[in-house]
């Protein structure tokens, strides 16, 4: 009989062992190798004593997975899922089960990273290309982005694009029609204030009365009205204004495209294409413009190029526009977007096809016609005379109607002046229309849905003006006309998945990206209707479960960060940077220091930092780094003193982007504070802080947290992300507010940074579960093992590659940088060659050429076992051996396994392969481990230059797939 106690047998800490890769024996073996007695000893060797956290985190103890699921089930059950007719950009939708099971709930899709390595990402690149094709077809424009964060932030990006490309160079007014969604206007105003633009709001027809650089209109508008903008757009364009349209994606199936009316930019939410409302997100926004503006398009663009065999291949195009290259001169600060949700929307379009989408849209519209016909027959006056899915009613007894609606479990939209709104959706049934008649008219109305339907068909009239009915064909590409049975759809999704390398195949050691386990138990609640089917603007008493979860999560994160308050609105890390900088900006303004607009940024910073500072209206001054990669304190002090009068803040990352704990971090904070500035500490490397130190105790004033890095939300192939900010008490009144949802906080009236009050709320349960399951013990141990894994890899590889930077005791933090420049000089082998060769070994390359060109930054998270680390180390050592054969001249510099990587099935089937100086086995099975689990890249190395010179961002003919 065991001598263990019942508490031990209950295994409350079992999840810690599930999450952390190396078991206790492996940890001890690794500790012995790196020269540390224990995890605590290693921590003391690495983390500066002055900033160490000497207490347990106040997040409770670890719990089992079943126990955690029971807790979150109780929370979910507090949410009341009403039938929502609120609309305003959020609608009921049916998520096809084949997409939910095979994409949303499939780690092959949700654990992949942004496709910077396109040779091992052709599947999701094709899915995103499909999304771009859907966007272009429905909007009638030429070039689409791979997704933006939401409709409201897309509107702000449209405004910024308009300013960049407008030929009305002296104009500073951006006009917004007064019938756009209020949350969109809120976000646009926030962005405009930073840029110094003047926002004019008024009836759409009045736009021509101003000298504008751009204008924004809603199609259909918030009241449901459909407007033909053709003449207005012609007038505005004659005045050199850039015209933007926020459009409803489902209505575009039936309505004339905004592009055909003359719009320059069309954007909107793709949520209606099979993505749950989720209390506001995550949802992909589509963004489409004219080819003439391609250099100003924000976000990723997927383009068609070719590989070294001349075969069609996909890649991210025109990356020189983006923040990781252009920094403060970038079009946008976008890094993480909404790729997983864009893929769901694209698969929704593929599965239904043009005819299926048309049936869904026509059903929604017919039900709206029936509702309108019945209501008007009973004397109800409608505000709008045209509609697709939304009716606005002049209600004389709105309180009684609202009471009946609540009793029936229904949410209507309550506008001012006694106007009630009803927006129908894909989920609306004929029975729901009958119920709406009862709610709006009371019982005894005598209306019959079938009879009204027959009358509408007989009359042949339409609530959509004839000139606004779409007449052109959409989605004609074979991809949208081939996969309409579940069997075919399942296989198409699987075929694409097989082309991609994700965490379900091997470690992804991207430095500064923290590709850790996204545990199945953490992921499961996001599929529950209690979280998915909540409208972000529902009454607060219906979302008590969400409120409890968000408040508890905020409390935990406050303790983890050492701050005083959290704001959960930002829906990406870059968005969090922007939100944090806005809080600093607003704080200075409140003190009469509006002139404080200079942001100091070390030259090693993430590209999003300067891009976000520019978006927040700040001037950027770059500070130097010393030879060890640390912030050069003398240069910092000199520049802080030089700009002291106008100093707003500094943006630093900790541990630094060089992968070490800088000893002077608290001194950096003191210098900035002495000159009246604030300290923004980028949370990208928070995985090396949790449980060991906190940004607050270091001396920072605000940070964003990448919940999709440190706190287990998956990367989704390029999104979703979540970037809540933690702030000290003095900044709390200045964080983002929301125009629609108020919480009685001092910050309520501040401008918004995203469309929904809690950003991508429906993925917050993942982080809640992560913290709940690990508890204070597991969170601290996870950080310590992340340090152990990084130092183990660093020491193993240091015998074969020079390590660029180390900190105290020759240690690194949670990531290490190996310097490939000497190897390139001696052999001609580049960091790109090694990155592509790793694909042949079954690995995604580490982060390449950041923060230093010619390097690889490796971050092995705590979730990777010693076995997987050793496999990666073996691959890197083997690659170094291959490079030695190039150095010695045994292999030609232009014909060797590294130069020709990655290798495909086409390569080894090619009879001409025999002319190469290495064998097929060396090419594709370079180690025994590869033979056990071979990943085959489906294309050879892609020609980036060809892709940008021959930009093509739509679905290619099917012959190209053959």
Produce one character per residue of 327-357: b if its CB has 16 or more CB atoms within 10 Å, e if not: bbebbbbbbbbbbbbbbbbbbbbbbbbbebb
Confidence of residue 153 (pLDDT cuts 50, 70, 90): very high
Residue 329 has pLDDT above 80, yes or no: no
Are residues 720 and 571 in contact, defined by beta-carbon separation less than 8 angstroms? yes
pLDDT-based confidence at residue 320 (cuts at 50, 70, 90): low
Rg of the chain's alpha carbons, rounded to an integer?
Answer: 28
- Average confidence (pLDDT) over 85-110: 99
The whole-chain average pLDDT of the chain stands at: 95
Percentage of residues in the chain with pLDDT exceeding 70? 96
Where does the pLDDT of residue 330 fall: very low under 50, low under 70, confident under 90, or very high at 90 and above?
Answer: low
The arithmetic mean of pLDDT across residues 693-706, rounded, is: 98
SS3 sequence of 516-531: CCCCHHHHHHHHCHHH
| Third-level CATH fold of 91-502 | 3.40.640
Rounded percentage of the chain residues whose pLDDT exceeds 90: 91
Rounded mean pLDDT, 455-463: 94
200: which 2 tokens? 């004019």
Q: Which residue blocks in 421-506 are alpha helix, DSSP H?
A: 430-441, 449-459, 486-497
User: For domain 525-766, is the CATH number 3.40.640.10?
Assistant: yes
Beta pairing, strands 647-653 & 419-423: unpaired
Query: What are the pLDDT digits (tens) for 737-750?
Result: 999 998 878 888 89
Question: What is the CATH architecture assignment of 773-949?
Answer: Alpha-Beta Complex (3.90)
pLDDT of residue 962: 43
Confirm whether 525-766 and 773-949 share one CATH topology: no
Mean pLDDT of 235-246: 98
* Token pair for 74: 């109780």
Is the pLDDT confidence value at 322 over 50? no
For the chain, give every domain's residue range: 91-502, 525-766, 773-949
The phi, psi pair for 22, rounded to 5°, reads -75, 130
For the cut 90, the answer to whether the pLDDT of residue 9 exceeds it is no
Helices first, then strands: H and E counts in the chain: 34, 24
Residue 651 has pLDDT above 60, yes or no: yes
Establish how many alpha carbons lie within 13 A of residue 784's alpha carbon, considering only the half-sphere containing its beta carbon. 26
Q: What is the rounded distance in angstroms from the CA atom of residue 850 to the CA atom of residue 844?
A: 16
The model's pLDDT over 561-618, given as tens digits with 9 standing for 90+, comes to 999 999 999 999 999 999 999 999 999 999 999 999 999 999 888 878 998 999 999 9
Give the pLDDT confidence score for residue 957 in this predicted structure.
Answer: 55
Closest CA to 354 of 247, 252, 493: 252
CB atoms within 10 A of CB 248: 26
Residue-wise pLDDT tens digits, 718-739: 999 999 999 999 999 999 999 9
pLDDT in tens, 163-195: 999 999 999 999 999 999 999 999 999 999 999
CA 858 to chain centre: 22
Q: Which of 640, 647, 641, 584 is nearest to 612 (CA)?
A: 584
The answer to whether residues 626 and 657 touch, using CB atoms and an 8 Å cutoff, is no
Residue 659 has pLDDT above 90, yes or no: yes
Whether the ω angle into residue 220 lies within 30 degrees of 0, i.e. cis, is yes
CA atoms within 13 A on the CB side of 36: 25
For residue 114, is pLDDT > 90? yes
| Mean pLDDT, residues 134-144 | 98
The pLDDT tens digits of the residues spanning 885-934 come to: 999 999 999 999 999 999 999 999 999 999 999 999 999 999 999 999 99
What does the alpha-carbon distance between residue 206 and residue 882 come to, in Å, rounded to a whole number?
69
DSSP state of 468: G
- Mean per-residue pLDDT, 927-947: 92
Average pLDDT over residues 759-765: 98
pLDDT (0 to 100) of residue 321: 44
Does 328 have pLDDT greater than 60? no
pLDDT interval class at 944 (50, 70, 90): confident
In this prediction, residue 10 has a pLDDT band, given cuts at 50, 70 and 90, of confident
């Amino acid at each position: 009989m065991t001598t263990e106690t019942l508490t031990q047998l209950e295994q409350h800490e079992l999840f810690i062992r599930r999450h952390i890769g190396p078991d206790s024996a492996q940890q001890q073996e690794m500790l012995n190798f790196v020269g540390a007695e224990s995890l605590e000893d290693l921590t003391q060797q690495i983390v500066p004593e002055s900033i160490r956290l000497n207490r347990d985190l106040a997040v409770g103890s670890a719990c089992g997975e079943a126990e955690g699921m029971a807790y979150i089930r109780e929370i979910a059950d507090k949410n009341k899922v009403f039938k929502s007719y609120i609309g305003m950009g959020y609608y009921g939708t049916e998520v096809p089960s084949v997409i939910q099971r095979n994409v949303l709930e499939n780690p092959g899709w949700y654990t992949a990273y942004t496709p910077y390595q396109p040779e091992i990402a052709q599947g999701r690149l094709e899915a995103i290309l499909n999304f771009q094709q859907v966007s272009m077809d429905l909007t009638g424009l030429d070039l689409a982005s791979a997704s933006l964060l939401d409709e409201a932030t897309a509107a702000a990006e449209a405004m910024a694009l308009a300013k960049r490309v407008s030929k009305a160079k002296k104009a500073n007014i951006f006009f917004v029609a007064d019938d756009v969604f209020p949350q969109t206007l809120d976000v646009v105003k926030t962005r405009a204030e930073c840029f110094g633009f003047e926002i004019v709001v008024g009836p759409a027809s009045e736009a021509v009365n101003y000298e504008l650089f751009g204008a924004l209109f809603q199609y259909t508008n918030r009241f449901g009205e459909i407007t033909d903008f053709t003449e207005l757009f012609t007038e505005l364009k004659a005045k050199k204004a850039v015209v933007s349209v926020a459009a409803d994606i489902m209505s575009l199936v039936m309505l004339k495209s905004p592009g055909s009316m003359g719009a320059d930019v069309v954007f909107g939410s793709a949520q209606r294409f099979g993505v749950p409302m989720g209390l506001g997100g995550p949802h992909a926004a589509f963004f489409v413009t004219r080819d003439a503006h391609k250099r100003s398009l924000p976000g990723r663009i997927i383009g068609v190029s070719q590989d070294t065999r001349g075969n069609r291949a996909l890649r991210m195009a025109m990356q020189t526009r983006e923040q990781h290259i252009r920094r403060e001169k970038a079009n946008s600060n976008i890094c993480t977007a909404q790729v997983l949700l864009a893929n769901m929307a694209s698969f929704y379009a593929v599965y239904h096809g043009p005819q299926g989408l048309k049936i869904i849209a026509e059903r929604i519209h017919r039900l709206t016609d029936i509702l309108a016909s019945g209501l008007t027959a009973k004397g109800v006056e409608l505000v709008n005379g045209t509609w697709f899915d939304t009716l606005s009613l002049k209600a004389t007894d709105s309180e009684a109607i609202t009471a009946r609606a609540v009793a029936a479990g229904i949410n209507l939209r309550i506008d001012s002046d006694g106007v009630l709104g009803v927006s129908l959706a894909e989920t609306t049934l004929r029975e729901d229309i009958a119920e709406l008649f009862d709610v709006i008219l009371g019982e005894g109305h005598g209306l019959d849905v079938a009879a009204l339907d027959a009358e509408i068909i007989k009359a042949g009239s339409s609530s959509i003006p004839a000139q606004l009915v779409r007449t052109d064909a959409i989605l004609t590409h074979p991809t949208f006309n081939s996969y309409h049975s579940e069997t075919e759809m399942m296989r198409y999704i699987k075929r694409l998945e097989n082309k991609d390398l994700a965490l379900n195949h091997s470690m992804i050691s991207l430095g500064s990206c923290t590709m850790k386990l996204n545990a199945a138990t953490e992921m499961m609640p996001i599929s529950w209707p209690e979280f998915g089917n909540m409208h972000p603007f529902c009454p607060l008493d219906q979302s008590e479960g969400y409120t409890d979860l968000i408040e508890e999560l905020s409390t935990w994160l406050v303790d983890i960060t050492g701050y005083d308050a959290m704001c959960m609105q930002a829906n990406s890390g870059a968005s969090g940077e922007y939100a944090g900088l806005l809080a600093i900006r607003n704080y200075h303004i409140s003190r009469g220091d509006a002139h404080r607009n200079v942001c100091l940024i070390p030259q090693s910073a993430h590209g999003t930092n300067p891009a976000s500072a520019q978006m927040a209206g700040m001037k950027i001054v770059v500070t130097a780094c010393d030879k060890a990669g640390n912030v050069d304190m003398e240069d910092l002090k000199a520049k802080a003193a030089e700009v002291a009068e106008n100093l707003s803040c500094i943006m630093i990352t900790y541990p630094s982007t060089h992968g070490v704990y800088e000893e002077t971090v608290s001194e950096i904070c003191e210098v900035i504070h002495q000159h009246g500035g604030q300290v923004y500490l980028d949370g990208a490397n928070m995985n090396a802080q949790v449980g060991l130190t906190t940004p607050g105790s270091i001396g920072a004033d605000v940070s964003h947290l990448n919940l999709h890095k440190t706190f287990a939300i998956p990367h989704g192939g390029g999104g979703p992300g979540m970037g809540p900010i933690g702030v000290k008490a003095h900044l709390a009144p200045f964080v983002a507010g929301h125009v629609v949802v108020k919480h009685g906080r001092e910050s309520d009236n501040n401008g918004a940074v995203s469309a929904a009050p809690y950003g991508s709320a429906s993925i917050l349960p993942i982080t809640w579960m992560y913290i709940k399951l690990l508890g204070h013990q597991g969170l601290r141990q996870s950080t310590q093992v992340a340090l152990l894994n990084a130092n183990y890899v660093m020491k193993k590889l240091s015998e074969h590659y020079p390590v660029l930077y180390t900190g105290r005791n020759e240690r690194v933090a949670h990531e290490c940088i190996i310097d490939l420049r000497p190897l390139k000089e001696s052999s001609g082998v580049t960091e790109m060659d090694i990155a592509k060769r790793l694909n042949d070994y079954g690995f995604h390359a580490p982060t390449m050429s950041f923060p230093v060109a010619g390097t690889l930054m490796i971050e092995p998270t705590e979730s990777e076992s010693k076995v997987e680390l050793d496999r990666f180390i073996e691959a890197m050592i083997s690659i170094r051996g291959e490079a030695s054969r190039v150095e010695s001249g045994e292999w030609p510099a232009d014909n060797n396994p590294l130069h020709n990587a990655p290798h495909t099935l086409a390569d080894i089937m090619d009879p001409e392969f025999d002319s190469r100086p290495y064998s097929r086995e060396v090419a594709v099975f370079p180690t025994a481990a590869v033979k056990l689990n071979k990943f085959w890249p489906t294309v050879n190395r892609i020609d980036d230059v060809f892709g940008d010179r021959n930009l093509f961002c739509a679905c290619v003919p099917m012959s190209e797939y053959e």
